[in-house]
Homo-oligomer: A and B are copies of this chain.
């Protein structure tokens, strides 16, 4: 009889956002007259930029003619896109990353879940707490996390690095030595980040201790402060210790278009084995490239028109972020984030748990957010609101919260 991967059985309960969807659906059924505003899941609402739409139409037309039809894409992605990425995301920032160190993918979620595959089973992972759940869950599925303690909601073999009000949301070097360190900066869900100088300390720490940093920079486009790095490769020595994951979902509204990329520098090695070669082998064996049309859409993100249009889109969402932050402060809440990221992280009032606050907000203000505890044990007592709604909905939601 065939046997299943028993690690899947260890995964607790259902995915955070499924639980939220069920609660909202039950509330809607019981209260069909209520107008719900969703500032929960991190999905964007603004349409694709005109430059992107134009590029996609052109690419669709190419696919309709034999002379310009495109079949299988090159393994790492089309050069036109990898060159644009290398130029704008790296060379322009003084980072020495070349086009052939960039692997185009169908999104950072896939990459952040798949990257652990090229590492052995007996690596110890460290994660910020709270953080995007995919890092831990993908390692659970691979059997790298030990035993789950339902009471503390932690895994025995995962090193948690609490990021709370107490340490200003800056992860501290853990007591135990990790092999793989996941950093999501600016952070989802807290919306906070660390300075370039602080990131440099992490790079030095990883190089000294022989750890690899998996750096998720999905929210990079929202950085507004000068002392924050847009890429980990702005730090000295990151080429020998860091893999960087990037997404088009938030900087260009590609959540439904699906495009991302991963940088694996050629200098990043385990003894004499190149991780670049390993990731290339995985890419070539288990993936067949992002669609031609989507890669052309990605190229348009870097065109002068595309950059101009997307700067405005980011500004639109960040205006929402200011409205949320200012409104909540006025209403007496303790609030974080929203400066370098489209997420607002608030301390739940009184002694309310994250889920209690979720229920309260849904029932009394008809506003949907995300309970902080869904992102890790140190997220308990916090709550996430996102700036990805429309301006009108964001205003309305905050008015409701103020009037509670």
Seen from chain A, the residues whose Cβ lies within 8 Å of a Cβ on chain B are 1-6, 8-9, 11, 15, 18, 41, 43-48, 50, 53, 56-57, 60-61, 63-66, 69-73, 106-107, 109-110, 113-114, 117-123, 134, 137-138, 141, 179-180, 210-212, 253, 255-258, 270, 273, 275, 278, 281-282, 284-294, 390
Contact = CB atoms under 8 A, between A and B. Distances in A.
B46 A66 contact: yes
Contact of A256 (B6, B41, B71, B286): B71
A220 B137 CA distance: 35
Given A4-B278, A109-B288, 4 more contacts: A4-B118, A5-B118, A15-B285, A71-B255
A394 to B, nearest CB: 14
Given A72-B43, A109-B288, A255-B71, A211 B2 contact: yes
A48 to B, nearest CB: 5
Q: Count the copies.
A: 2
A119 to B, nearest CB: 6
A281 B120 CA distance: 22
Contact of A286 (B43, B53, B138): B138
A107 B288 contact: yes
Contact of A66 (B47, B106, B138): B47
Nearest to A121: B5
B43 A69 contact: no
A113 to B, nearest CB: 4
Contact of A63 (B48, B66, B73, B210): B48
A275 B4 CA distance: 8
Contacts of A70: 256
A1 B270 contact: yes
A45 B71 contact: yes
Contacts of A255: 71-72, 288
Contacts of A257: 63, 291-293
Contacts of A210: 1-2
B53 A63 contact: yes
24 contacts: A2-B179, A2-B180, A3-B119, A4-B270, A4-B275, A5-B118, A9-B273, A45-B71, A48-B69, A53-B61, A53-B63, A56-B60, A56-B63, A60-B60, A71-B256, A107-B288, A113-B285, A113-B286, A134-B286, A138-B285, A256-B289, A257-B292, A257-B293, A258-B289
B120 A256 contact: no
A53 B57 CA distance: 10
Nearest to A70: B256
B287 A110 contact: yes
A240 to B, nearest CB: 12
A69 B286 CA distance: 30
Nearest to A288: B109
Contacts of A66: 45-47, 390
